[in-house]
Structure 1
Amino acid sequence: MGTYITRTVTWSEYDHVAMVLKFDSDPGEVYLVESTGGSGVALNKWSFLRSHIGVTRKFYKKCVFRHVNFKRDSKMLENLESFLKSVIGLKYALKPLEILRRNNKAKDEHPNENSTFFCSSLIAKAYKLLGVIENDDTPCQRFFPHHFSSSGDKSLKLTEGSRMEEELQLILETDDMLMQ
């Protein structure tokens, strides 16, 4: 029921968004940076999360992946690492009043120990930091899962050279993962 409410309140087909990462130090594993009600902002292994995805699974009935093309360099990696260190462990929050105040132009602040993140505000903050979307005066709290979907990304202000690929639905069958 909670996911239905989230999709309705945030005008989204999807109720969650995360960022997929791979690390040279663990080449056989895929990680997701996400903010959830259960654990707040966390770096989770895909091998753990995949048990929660699928029609009979507890959390997610469907999962899609979108590759983001953008210029990657060492400065960007340093910024991402610093950002992750500052947000991992922070609390999750979906603030209904911020959703209702659609014209809120409150400036984003650097995360501190009192910061909270809804899943999509976390990804918006990361994408602004990485230079994927413009770091303008649109507060990260104004982004919802819908904005990162194929049907909602028209409102994202992608920077020059950044592009989001089409959605690929991940299908889990027993221990095999197939891309559709």
Structure 2
Amino acid sequence: MQQNQSNQEDDQPNNIMDNLEFQSVLDIQNLNDDQFQEEIPEQNNQVSDMYRQERHLNLIAHQIHKQNEQRPQPVLEGEFYKVSPHFLETNSTYYCTLQPKRFTYYNIKNKDKPLGILDFDYQKYIFSFVKSKDDQYILSFILQPEGCEKKFEFVVPTRTRDQSKKWVQLIQQYIQQSCGCQNNIASMSKYHRFWRHERILDPQILDQAQTGDLLIFRTKGTLQNLQRSITRSDYDHMVMFLKNSWEDPMLFESSNQYGVISFSYKRFVKAKSYRNYEKILYKPLLNVSENDRILMHAYAEAQIGKGYSLSMMKFFKKSTRKNFFCSELIAYIYQLMGFIPEAEKCCSFLPGQYQIITLIGNFTDEDKRLDLLKNAQLGPDYIVDFYYLQ
């Protein structure tokens, strides 16, 4: 595969922005097409063991998915003080709910969007609590994900003390009954702030992904941390799915290594390139017809082979549509579909929460959700779990 040459459409002096690079999710493993081969175990018994383990864990995942298709109403709900992990911050009051095998907390003023989702089926939790001296009620309790230093500590306010023992009893019961506890599942603890999102397994993406859906990446590394600081974004790269009826999902991206390309999602997973990211989010595109997805696929394929470019001058010049950075490319496809107004600059869209020039919209921030046209809508974020088999 040929490396794409840097774009020279903008003759401006180098600056910090010019040195930002959205790394390809393919290039990290530096795999060429003829090098990409699935590893075959030498011994047949190894194949059998691996197959049995994968089948068993896939069965667990299927059971969890079925259980959550129709999640019941909360068994308990109430208000607790959440202990802040930061020394200078005061404890805040949160609205909390307890459903079978799931503890969720919300901002007291916004009960529609959860701030923390602790699902006992997805992750094993260590539970502890402190009783009052007279043993009449619970003073506080802690939920800690196994394999993670993060602790969720809640103090019981006076108004909730009457039910405090019932809360503790049910939390203990749900943890013991959960798949996370019974199967020692600790994969979610590997991800940055995993409790902010619902979870999806990577095999489920093979079944669910459609053209226009997004993967949004938070890359490990000091340079990427700097990049996110400069762009004021929680994420530093994004790709779009391309899917048709005769092949597996493809990932469509623009990167500084290759420019605009597409490649197999299975290839990305089998190369274990996900290990280079703190977190990967799956974000579905909703309310789009099949005909529109076919048209979007054609628009995307027409861009393959174009170059990569990211510089400050892009925000002040009229785009030639010949070179793109990652989220600019996807915004352009959305704009061709009529999901984004023609007057908007596609280069103003970044993978995360803040746009450099204007707050036009966002791909990830729920509070500043990107409002699409033609009734299209970006769905909620799902954290992709690649480690559930390990």
Per the shorter chain, which TM-score range? 0.7 to 0.9
State whether structure 2 residue 384 is matched by structure 1 residue 170.
Answer: yes
Q: Which has the higher strand share?
A: 2
SS of 1:17's partner is strand
Residues 85 and 20 from structure 1, CA distance in 2 versus in 1: closer, same or farther, beyond 3 angstroms? closer
Query: Partner residue of 1:25?
Result: 246
Question: With CA pairs under 8 Å and 6+ residues apart, which has the higher RCO, 1 or 2?
Answer: 1
Query: Partner residue of 1:95?
Result: 311
SS of 1:53's partner is helix
Query: Partner residue of 1:47?
Result: 266
State whether structure 2 residue 306 is matched by structure 1 residue 85.
Answer: no
State the aligned residue count. 158
Structure 1 position 37, deviation (Å)? 1.6
Letter in 2 for 1:123: I
Gaps of 5+ in 1: none
State whether structure 2 residue 288 is matched by structure 1 residue 71.
Answer: yes
State whether structure 2 residue 356 is matched by structure 1 residue 134.
Answer: no
Structure 1 position 39, deviation (Å)? 1.4
Residues 85 and 67 from structure 1, CA distance in 2 versus in 1: closer, same or farther, beyond 3 angstroms? closer
Structure 1 position 138, deviation (Å)? 1.2
Structure 1 position 96, deviation (Å)? 3.1
Letter in 2 for 1:96: M
Q: Does the CA contact (< 8 Å) of 2:254 and 2:324 recur in 1?
A: yes
Structure 1 position 90, deviation (Å)? 1.3
Scaled by the length of structure 1, the TM-score of the pair is: 0.75
Matches within 5 A, 1:99-110: 101=315, 104=316, 107-109=318-320
Letter in 2 for 1:84: A
State whether structure 2 residue 330 is matched by structure 1 residue 123.
Answer: yes
Q: Does the CA contact (< 8 Å) of 1:65 and 1:167 recur in 2?
A: yes
Residues 168 and 75 from structure 1, CA distance in 2 versus in 1: closer, same or farther, beyond 3 angstroms? closer
Q: Distance in 2 between matches of 1:152 and 1:108?
A: 29
Q: Does the CA contact (< 8 Å) of 1:21 and 1:31 recur in 2?
A: yes
Query: Partner residue of 2:363?
Result: 148
Structure 1 position 74, deviation (Å)? 2.9
Gaps of 5+ in 2: 1-221, 353-361
Scaled by the length of structure 2, the TM-score of the pair is: 0.37
State whether structure 2 residue 227 is matched by structure 1 residue 6.
Answer: yes
Letter in 1 for 2:350: F
SS of 1:18's partner is strand
Q: Distance in 2 between matches of 1:96 and 1:108?
A: 12
Q: Does the CA contact (< 8 Å) of 1:107 and 1:137 recur in 2?
A: no
Structure 1 position 79, deviation (Å)? 5.1
Q: Distance in 1 between matches of 2:262 and 2:229?
A: 27
Q: Does the CA contact (< 8 Å) of 2:328 and 2:348 recur in 1?
A: yes
Letter in 2 for 1:136: E
Question: Once the two structures are aligned, what percentage of the paired residues are identical?
Answer: 23
**Could you say what the CA RMSD is over the residues aligned between the two structures, in angstroms?**
2.4
Residues 44 and 88 from structure 1, CA distance in 2 versus in 1: closer, same or farther, beyond 3 angstroms? same
Q: Does the CA contact (< 8 Å) of 2:242 and 2:251 recur in 1?
A: yes
Which sits farther off after the overlay, 40-49 or 1-10? Answer: 1-10
Q: Does the CA contact (< 8 Å) of 2:371 and 2:377 recur in 1?
A: no
Q: Does the CA contact (< 8 Å) of 1:92 and 1:118 recur in 2?
A: yes
Q: Distance in 2 between matches of 1:40 and 1:72?
A: 29
Q: Radius of gyration: which is bigger? A: 2
